[in-house]
Amino acid sequence: MLKNIHKSIDSLYPEMVEIRRYLHQYPEVSFKEYKTAKYIADFYETLGIPYKTKVGGNGVIATLTGGKPGKTVALRADFDALPIQDEKKVPYKSKVDGVMHACGHDGHTATLLTLAKVMKEYQEELPGTIEFLHQHAEEYSPGGAKPIVESGAIDHVDAVFGTHLWATTPVGVLQTSKNVFMAGADRFEITIQGQGGHGAYPHETKDAIVIGSEVISQLQHIVSRRLDPLETAVVTVGMFEAGNSFNIIADKAKLTGTVRYLNPDIQEKVIMEMERIIKGICISNDASYTFNYTKGYPPLVNHEKEAELVLEASKNVKEIHKHEEVIPVMGGEDFAYYTLKKPGAYFFTGAEKEGNPYPHHHPMFDIDERALPIAAKTLIEAYFAYQD
């Protein structure tokens, strides 16, 4: 049956691309994906597959119950976009100013919708139940996965699988890990309150820019000098806001950034060291500060059995010529909440587009659409393998 399913997926490739390109033209940012959620719900309505909307927010879950007994497995795709201006010169360029599918979630959605259409035709032969889990708000913490899990929507599920179309990996390559696969991702804001004044009289001020610069410099020492070199972490200051004139010394500076980690103990160590550094520098400069640290998505940890299952199942997909176990990447992903709750695994489906070397979250981002059916075939192969 799986060979026939693969053929059916291939036969719907043009429709899969059409769906992806439509969604690419009409993106919606996290927590505001109302039209996209309706598009997904309408698709299942047309197929005659029962579904629920507003799951944990804007989530949509469709349930296909097979004609044979078996396990219940959720297959997940996210569908939110990013606040980025699409700069590609393609017919399917975003028509929404300042919003773009710059991470492939349009492709994830097209993959899952097409797979649902195929599997509807095989419903009577299907063992178990497929939950087509369409998740909103992956891009912006607290995300959509956490409220979906908290809603009880996957309490009855035996396992969860998901994939990310990975634009920096060649088509035909599948990557995953049997343990930690993606990093925990946090956010911080530091506000330094100094004392402003005339640029000609620095001795009468407490220069927030100088103090902020010192903080940034010392934060880099956390990873290089305060952590075990065998551990992994990232401390990045992505925004430094201060001052409004060339001849005025700024009284306030705001630093905003992210921390990435694989080990929760390291997360706590980084927080402690950040507080110590900020406090020490501000005291030495007679300045005050506020430090707000927001814990975001936890590390995504695959279950070993389910990750091995994905690797083995992917060998049945003829278009995949390389099956890799890889070291963790420092990007974050709220699929982590599903594998905290249920057995499961997440994997990358290579989608690098020739002549388009741009990474995820870039204004020129794009994917090779040949990866879409590969993702669909791997997901359904994993589903059937889990039934054994």
Q: What are phi and psi of 173, to 5 degrees?
A: -110, 130
| Mean pLDDT, rounded, for 136-150 | 97
Q: Could you tell me the pLDDT band of residue 258, with boundaries at 50, 70 and 90? A: very high
Is residue 103 a known part of a binding site? yes
- Same domain? 163 vs 304: yes
Is position 105 annotated in a ligand binding site?
Answer: yes
Same domain, 37 and 157: yes
Percent of the chain with pLDDT over 90: 100
In this predicted structure, what is the pLDDT of residue 70? 98
Q: Give pLDDT tens digits for 353-380.
A: 999 999 999 999 999 999 999 999 999 9
Residues 244, 348, single domain; the answer is no
What is residue 108's three-state secondary structure? helix
B/e letters for 171-184, b = 16+ CB within 10 Å, e = fewer, are bbbbbbbbebbbbb
Q: What pLDDT digit, counting tens, does each position of 34-45 carry?
A: 999 999 999 999
281 and 153 in one domain?
Answer: no
What local confidence, expressed as pLDDT, does residue 236 receive?
A: 98
Whether 151 and 196 map to the same domain: the answer is: no
- Last residue of a domain, which of 297, 312, 346? 297
pLDDT (0 to 100) of residue 257? 98
Q: What is the pLDDT, as a whole number, of residue 68?
A: 98
The verdict on whether residue 361 carries a ligand-binding annotation is: yes
Query: What is the per-residue pLDDT for 60?
Result: 99
pLDDT-derived band at 307 (thresholds 50, 70, 90) equals very high
* Residues 40 and 119 both lie in one domain: yes
Q: Is 164 known as a binding-site position?
A: yes
Answer yes or no: do 125 and 265 share one domain: no
The model's pLDDT over 196-247, given as tens digits with 9 standing for 90+, comes to 999 999 999 999 999 999 999 999 999 999 999 999 999 999 999 999 999 9
Identify whether residues 222 and 307 lie together within a single domain.
Answer: no
State the burial class of residue 244 (Cβ atoms within 10 Å of its Cβ: 0-12, 13-18, 19+).
exposed
pLDDT of residue 343: 98
Whether 89 and 157 map to the same domain: the answer is yes
pLDDT the model gives residue 340: 98
Q: Which of 262, 297, 332 is the last residue of a domain?
A: 297
| 8 Å CB contact between 277 and 319 | no
**Cβ neighbour number for residue 363 with a 10 Å cutoff:** 13
pLDDT band at 69 (very low <50, low <70, confident <90, very high): very high
**CA angle in degrees (0–180, nearest 5) for 169-173-179:** 90
- By three-state DSSP, how is residue 109 classified? helix
- CA angle centred on 174, ends 298 and 387, rounded to 5°: 80
Same domain, 85 and 196: no
Q: Total structural domains in the chain?
A: 2
pLDDT at 228: 96
Among candidate residues 245, 272, 297, the one where a domain is terminated = 297
CB under 8 Å to 101, separation ≥6 — which residues?
A: 23, 24, 27, 81, 82, 94
User: pLDDT by residue (tens digit) across 270-288?
Assistant: 999 999 999 999 999 999 9
Positions marked active-site: 80, 138
Residue-number span of the structural domain to which 196 is assigned: 184-297
Going by pLDDT thresholds of 50, 70 and 90, the confidence category of residue 291 is very high
Q: pLDDT at position 122, please?
A: 98
Give yes or no: residues 150 and 197 share one domain: no
How many residues make up the chain in this entry? 388
Say if residue 274 is in the same domain as residue 334.
no
Question: Of 143, 145, 328, nearest to 234 (Cα)?
Answer: 328
pLDDT band with cut points at 50, 70 and 90 for residue 102: very high
> Known binder of ligand: residue 131?
no
Mean pLDDT, rounded, of the chain: 98
- For 53, the enclosing helix (H) or strand (E) is strand 51-55
CATH of the domain at 8: 3.40.630.10
